Amino acid sequence: MFESIGMGHGTTKTDGTGTVVATRYGRIRGRVTAGIHAYLGVPYAAPPFGARRFQPPQPVEPWSGVREALALGATPPQSATPPPHDVFFPLVPGEGCLNLNVWSPDLGRARQPVMVWIPGGGFDGGASGLYDGSRFARDGVVCVTLNTRRGADGFLDLGDVATNMGLLDPVAALVWVRDNIAAFGGDPDNVTVFGESAGAMLVGTLLAMPGARGLFRRAILQSGAGNMVFTPETAQEVSRRLAAVLGVAPERAAIADVPVDRLLDAQLQVAADLRAHPDPVRWGGEPGSRVNLWQPVVDGEVLPARPIEAIEAGASADIDVLMGQNAEEGRLSLVPFGLLDEVTDEQLAAAMTAYGLPVEQARAGYRRAYPGAGPGDLLGILQGDYYYRIPAIRLAEARVAAAPTYMYEFAWRSPQFNGLLGAC
């Protein structure tokens, strides 16, 4: 039981329906289950629609009374994911998509460690609703999961005043954590930010961003190393193609007037068009590889340089980092879709060429390392090396002399798809 002492910022009380916490913007009521306090769908920035669409995150408007935080908030705009991956992306409609969830075992001044989770989803999807932080809280950690804008809403770049909204969103969420997490029993000076896949890529960019400096002490990158970023030229080409499909001027206001569903359909059309012109270095495209049309942009301001270059220059030298990957990452893109046995030697060679490898030497080396592997198996290994394993090693090498850096590999093989899925 927490005693109310005027309900100023950071004080709590328990009433008949749940525990009320006072944030800087207003009071919220969560629920308690098995001793764990949960607050769901808490806004950390204003809804990014209307005049705020395609703009940096804006502060939450304070509210009076007590706001219920009992259900997941809206998910960022994204197309529905087809099976079998749809289970990873549960969608909730609504405009208030810049929200987060908090789980804590002990409110008030407990100063427990905090972990902030950024979901994956390939930069065009993903949401926090899949993840339950109660087990972290059970073990004494305040767990926060958050939603950030993806796709064009996150990374539209028209060469004007604003881009990288999908990077500014997690920074806004971390500012919210810094300013509010003590009321949930968390220590704002002991924050670890972690994520997987595109979430790990976002963590990698946070390591290089001046605007994120001082907001976290540690970082964990799971299957991603901040290596997927666009130059302004590539980002603006993709954005111009989007405007052309929409039939509007390549201007922020014109695209902001487009209804969400129509914009999402246009993004799928651009992806389909570019999939016919594969370029793994720029946006993917070889068999079983996603076309990654929306990525963080090295704009010289929000993200001043490629993350590995910024880290080589000393960015994040005060941050402890753990990073790694699964042993067979690439199989997730092939096995569930029946593509493993469809890959030909010619397609494998084309992927090696696209990655800048000498084909005969690379093919011989991979076959020596993985005897008996077919072209599909080798393509899966190649994709895992290109997108995950080697970038993680390079990032670790770039910072190991300056800061504590740890690496892992997850090698447990799943029994799914008769064991073909592997450790992906």
Backbone CA torsion sign across 193, 196, 199, 203: positive
Query: Under a CB-based contact definition with an 8 Å cutoff, are residues 388 and 225 in contact?
Result: yes
Share above pLDDT 90 across residues of the chain, in percent, rounded to a whole number: 80
Backbone CA torsion sign across 398, 400, 403, 406: positive
pLDDT bracket for residue 80 (50, 70, 90): confident
d(CA 370, CA 380): 12
Full-model pTM: 0.92
d(CA 164, CA 49): 16
Share above pLDDT 70 across residues of the chain, in percent, rounded to a whole number: 95
Q: Residue range 386-411: average pLDDT?
A: 94
pLDDT digits 0-9 by tens, 327-346: 999 998 899 889 999 999 99
d(CA 277, CA 87): 29
Tokens of 255: 């695209």
pLDDT digits 0-9 by tens, 233-268: 999 999 999 999 999 999 999 999 999 999 999 999
Residues near 105 by Cβ (< 8 Å), separated by ≥ 6? 35, 36, 37, 112, 137, 138, 140, 185
Domains, the chain, with CATH or none: 28-316 (3.40.50.1820)
pLDDT bracket for residue 14 (50, 70, 90): low
pLDDT digits 0-9 by tens, 102-154: 999 999 878 999 999 999 988 998 889 889 999 999 999 999 999 999 999 99
What is each CA distance from 313 to 219, 317, 339, 392, in whole angstroms?
18, 9, 41, 17
Query: Under a CB-based contact definition with an 8 Å cutoff, are residues 124 and 73 in contact?
Result: no
| 320 CB burial (10 A radius; 0-12, 13-18, 19+) | middle
- Average pLDDT over the chain reads 91
pLDDT bracket for residue 12 (50, 70, 90): low
